[in-house]
Amino acid sequence: MDPNQPPVENYANPKTCLFHVLFKGAALAFYILSALFFNSFVIIFVVTVLLAALDFWVVKNVSGRILVGLRWWNEINDLGESVWKFESLDQESLARMNKKDSWLFWWTLYLAAAAWFILGIFSLIRFQADYLLVVGVCLSLNVANIIGFTKCKKDAKKQFQQFASQTIASRFQSTVQSAFTLV
């Protein structure tokens, strides 16, 4: 090993990374390989959607929080309107997040959605509307996480920018006030 070479960064949360990838891979693998072992569409539908739902829950509630420091949810307010809620770590903590963990999180999120989209195209080409339903459910769960975490990431950046501008403005204001009190 070359002593001049910087150390290789490992995954900070290998178990979380494993489960982040595991349910995505399990849902995709079961859907793809199930035709070899099962003749029942109901079994294929139930197991695939169950695995995709587990993936949705793990990503939304566990790996998103641990790997990228983001959390989102949706509430219905008193007026019956849907309201997105976002939580993120402070900017300093977000900057300290493990780059490999973050990279794995975002790439697998997008690659899984792309895989479901391609499987949907195959279902369309083969005129399999029932399997298109399975793919549609799985794709919608993946896309919901993509939209939620993307909005959450943008919200975190916006909050940091607001905090930074407020901090600068208050420092400037205190500096100006102290300058005038000296005069």
Start-end of H helices in 41-128: 41-58, 64-67, 91-95, 99-125
Residue that is written with structure tokens 């949810």 in the block: 73
Q: Where are the domains of the chain?
A: 12-151
What residues contact 9, with CB distance under 8 A and at least 6 apart? Answer: 98, 99, 100
Instruction: At 50, list the tokens.
Output: 């169950």
pLDDT, tens digit, 9 for 90 and up, residues 65-74: 888 878 878 8
| DSSP letter, residue 8 | P
Decide: pTM greater than 0.75: no
pLDDT above 90 for 16: no
Query: Quick one: which of 31, 23, 110, 117 has its CA closest to 61?
Result: 23
